[in-house]
Structure 1
Amino acid sequence: MPQEPPVLPSLPRVGVYVDAENIRYNGGYQMRYDVLRNFAARQDGILQRLNTYIAYDAQRADEDPEYKKKSRAYQQMVRDFGWKITVKHVRRYTDEAGNVSTKANADLDMAVDAMLQAEKLEQVILVTGDGDFLQVVDALQNRGCRVELIGFKNVSRQLQQEADAFWSGFLIPDLLPVSYEPRNEWGKPGSCVRGVCTKWFPDKGYGFLRFMSHISPNLWTVDPRDPTSPYVSVFCHANEVAEDVSEDMLLNRETILEFYLAESEQKDNGLVAQNVRLAFGINR
């Protein structure tokens, strides 16, 4: 009898939901949507939904043609990368003292979309740090979705713990460009990267940093000695560490460091860290 062909595993359907205003105000200004798309597809998943929720101030646009021009150009660029944009118009509120505040909250739209579309998804990536999404994460998981979280600064600790995986946007290669290095080739000698300290020996005055060299489906393989790992270990001498970076910070894996890479004079194909400092002033 002829054998039936083997059943191939289906590719996971992925939905990405970006709380753009939360990200913009918490360290993710200039986040690259093309890199985010590549990261979401790193396991060859089908990008079923790519949604972002962006604020737009119509009143300011009427008064400031340059703002209107830049906003429209930015939205078009994001659409060119295949994203659906939900525009949230800024609303103004005046309190009893006459103080005017603005708000363009996309939480409800984003939560409803994720819940309604979840039945056709296996994986959901939420790009936010807002703890209000805690129940949304729980509900999506109960519907069978794997939920990953990407954030920059001020990310809810509970939200990180509830998600199936949390990725710091600072550590994803090129997701957040290095503004003062326009031609930065992430991971190459001479480039600027962001990473964490994995080992530090205060009595010896040196340690080792680790950074993600490229986007890979094997992000869980954190040991740089594994040939399938996308992570690289870098030697760091204490003399290269900024004065405001304490030993306690170095010993805390949540401290995000920014540093330059240089070729090691002691080890073939080895790298050393130079000008090591806190990334974007976080953890201060």
Structure 2
Amino acid sequence: MNSGLRVGVFVDAENVRYNGGYQMRYDVLRRYAARSGGELLRLNTYMAFDSERAREDYEYAKKARAYQQMVRDFGWKITVKTVRRYTDDNGNVTTKANADLDMAVDAMLQASMLDKVLLVTGDGDFLQVVNALQNRGCRVELIGFKNVSRQLQQSVDTFYSGYLIPDLLPIPYEPRNEWGKVGSCVRGVCTKWFPDKGYGFLRVLDHISPNLWITDPRDEGSPYISVFCHANELAEDVTEDLVLNRETILEFYLSESEQKDNGFVASNVRLAFSINR
């Protein structure tokens, strides 16, 4: 099924890297952007490269260029921003490789060819860009990890936490993880919790789907699954207040339920991210 929508993706790679999205998979991001069958007209990412360091550090240069080539192999256009160094009056050196302007200009110039724009950033400086894109008729979606501007989240048409998208962010200690399978490590949010009973239910996105808006796992066509969770499986730092906060993202393992056919139980439940931390 092809929705006919023309889609553009713009990734603020340095913002993502320093705010919880290190090692984000561009192949999964591409698959996610095309989940409704739209045509991916633009796939743009903006990366920093430290040429001064590269002259002295062969391994850095080798790894950086290999990574860039891998991303290009997935069909992305990379705009490389050279890292610049600045020295203040006290002799302190800071580095910057800000691609905000490049990304904003590209998004605005290319908007006339697009129906939907997916921004991957947490930077509130893109607020005006979002408003301008929407005024031009584009639907604007946002993916972020940590430190995502609250105002930016509220201005876009839809915000998705990158932590909750299957396999978008690898789980380093589970290199062969099969998200959604029994024994796999996944991330989700709590939808119901009964403090007096000591249990509740977590919701996990099982697979990338155009039906992300069908959030009730009981509804036909929903890509989500419901997972039973007992209080005994919560880590010590997972308080009741955190569990009840829908912005708390939990990481846990899926076990097969002994009480319900095709049901899941959460084990070893710990914090992946909380707005309060």
Alignment TM-score, normalising by the size of structure 1? 0.96
Q: 2:126 aligns with which of 116, 129, 133?
A: 133
Offset at residue 205 of structure 1 (A): 0.3
Deviations along 1:191-232, one digit per CA (max 9) or x if unpaired, are: 000000000001100000000000000000000001200000
Deviations along 1:118-151, one digit per CA (max 9) or x if unpaired, are: 0000000000000000000000000000000000
Count of residues paired in the alignment:
277
Offset at residue 10 of structure 1 (A): 6.3
Q: 1:234 aligns with which of 214, 223, 227?
A: 227
Q: Provide the rounded CA distance (Å) in 2 between the counterparts of 1:61 and 1:281.
A: 36
Alignment TM-score, normalising by the size of structure 2? 0.98
Q: Look up the equivalent residue of 1:178 and give its one-letter code.
A: I
Q: 1:183 aligns with which of 152, 176, 187?
A: 176
| 1:9 to 1:189, Cα distance in 2 relative to 1, 3 A | closer
| 1:282 to 1:274, Cα distance in 2 relative to 1, 3 A | farther
Q: Provide the rounded CA distance (Å) in 2 between the counterparts of 1:154 and 1:269.
A: 36
Q: Provide the rounded CA distance (Å) in 2 between the counterparts of 1:9 and 1:124.
A: 17
Cross-structure match for 2:45: 52
Offset at residue 282 of structure 1 (A): 6.1
5 Å matches for 1:1-284? 11-279=4-272, 283-284=276-277
Cross-structure match for 1:4: none
Q: Provide the rounded CA distance (Å) in 2 between the counterparts of 1:145 and 1:126.
A: 12
1:88 and 1:106 in contact (8 A); partners too: yes
Q: Provide the rounded CA distance (Å) in 1 between the counterparts of 2:211 and 2:113.
A: 25
Structure 1 unmatched runs, 5+: 1-7
2:44 and 2:77 in contact (8 A); partners too: yes
- Alpha-carbon RMSD across the aligned residues, in angstroms, is 1.2
- Partner SS for 2:222: coil
Q: Provide the rounded CA distance (Å) in 2 between the counterparts of 1:254 and 1:280.
A: 8
Q: Provide the rounded CA distance (Å) in 2 between the counterparts of 1:9 and 1:277.
A: 39
Q: Provide the rounded CA distance (Å) in 1 between the counterparts of 2:117 and 2:80.
A: 21
- Partner SS for 2:102: helix
Larger Rg: 1
Offset at residue 283 of structure 1 (A): 3.7
Q: Provide the rounded CA distance (Å) in 2 between the counterparts of 1:258 and 1:192.
A: 7
1:14 and 1:45 in contact (8 A); partners too: yes
Offset at residue 281 of structure 1 (A): 6.9
| 1:9 to 1:181, Cα distance in 2 relative to 1, 3 A | closer
Q: Provide the rounded CA distance (Å) in 1 between the counterparts of 2:156 and 2:172.
A: 30
Q: Provide the rounded CA distance (Å) in 1 between the counterparts of 2:117 and 2:274.
A: 30
Runs (4+) of structure 1 exceeding 6 A deviation are none
- Partner SS for 1:279: strand
Q: Look up the equivalent residue of 1:35 and give its one-letter code.
A: V
